[in-house]
Chains A and B, each alone.
Chain A
Amino acid sequence: EDKVVQSPLSLVVHEGDTVTLNCSYEVTNFRSLLWYKQEKKAPTFLFMLTSSGIEKKSGRLSSILDKKELFSILNITATQTGDSAVYLCAVAGRDDKIIFGKGTRLHILP
C-alpha cells in the first residue's frame, strides 16, 4: 500500500533555530513530491521535487529529494514566528493519485 510518512509529528523550537522536517515515502511509480505549508486555511505550495540531489530554495526554506532512499527533507533556517504552521508532504504516484503525509506541526516560540 502506498504511504507517505512525515516526522516529527510536532516540533517546538525557538525563533532563530534551524529545523529539518522529514518525509519518507513508499509510492508506486513515483512522479513527484511536493511540500505545502498550511496555516489556519488551505495549504499553499512551497516546492515540487522530481529529481534526486537537486536542492530547491526559496528564501530561508530549502528542500531536497533522495529517490534512492525514498525521502525528502525540508529545511528552515533562522526560523521566525511566522513559520509556525503545519507542513505537508505529498507524493504523486500511479494513476495520478496524490497521497499526503499527516503533516508536521511546527511551532516557533518568540
Chain B
Amino acid sequence: EAQVTQNPRYLITVTGKKLTVTCSQNMNHEYMSWYRQDPGLGLRQIYYSMNVEATDKGDVPEGYKVSRKEKRNFPLILESPSPNQTSLYFCASSLIRGAQETQYFGPGTRLLVL
C-alpha cells in the first residue's frame, strides 16, 4: 500500500531534549516536505527536499533540521526543542516537485514540549 508513515504519532518531551521525528514513503517520490499546523495559522512549510542530499528552508525553519540521505526517508530533527514548537507536524511527499503532483500526507505527529 502506497503511504507516508511518521513516527512517533504522539510525543511529550521537555525543553532542550533532542528529538527526531521520522518520515518514510514507499512511493519512490522525489519531493518530500515537513509542515507544522497550528490553530489559526494553518499549515506552514518547515523544510522541503527535492531529492537526495537536496534540502531547502520553507517558511518556518528556525529550530529545525532535516536530512535526506536516502530517497525514502526525511527525518525532522529538533536539536533543542522549546515550548513554541508544540504543534501538529505533517510529513508529505510527491512524485516530482511541489504541487505539480499531488502531495500525499503522513498521519501527523502531535508534539508537546513542556
| Chain A residues packing against B (C-beta within 8 Å) | 31-34, 41-45, 48, 88, 90-92, 95-103
Contacts and interface: CB of A to CB of B under 8 A. Distances in A.
Given A41-B107, A45-B103, A99 B98 contact: no
Given A31-B99, A48-B102, A90-B99, A98 B45 contact: yes
B102 to A, nearest CB: 4
A96 B97 contact: yes
Contacts of B59: 97, 99
Nearest to B58: A97
Interface residues of B, number: 26
Interface of B: 31, 33, 35, 40-45, 48, 50, 56, 58-59, 90, 97-100, 102-108
A91 B106 contact: no
Contact of A43 (B50, B99, B105): B105
A31 B40 contact: no
Residue among A88, A91, A98 with the highest chain B CB neighbour number at 10 A? A98
Contacts of A97: 45, 48, 56, 58-59, 98
A98 B102 contact: no
Contacts of B104: 45
A90 to B, nearest CB: 7
Contacts of A44: 105
A48 B99 contact: yes
Nearest first, the 4 closest Cβ-Cβ pairs linking A and B are: A92-B99, A42-B105, A102-B42, A92-B98
B108 A91 contact: no
B56 A96 contact: yes
Residue among B50, B98, B100, B104 with the highest chain A CB neighbour number at 10 A? B98
Contacts of A103: 42
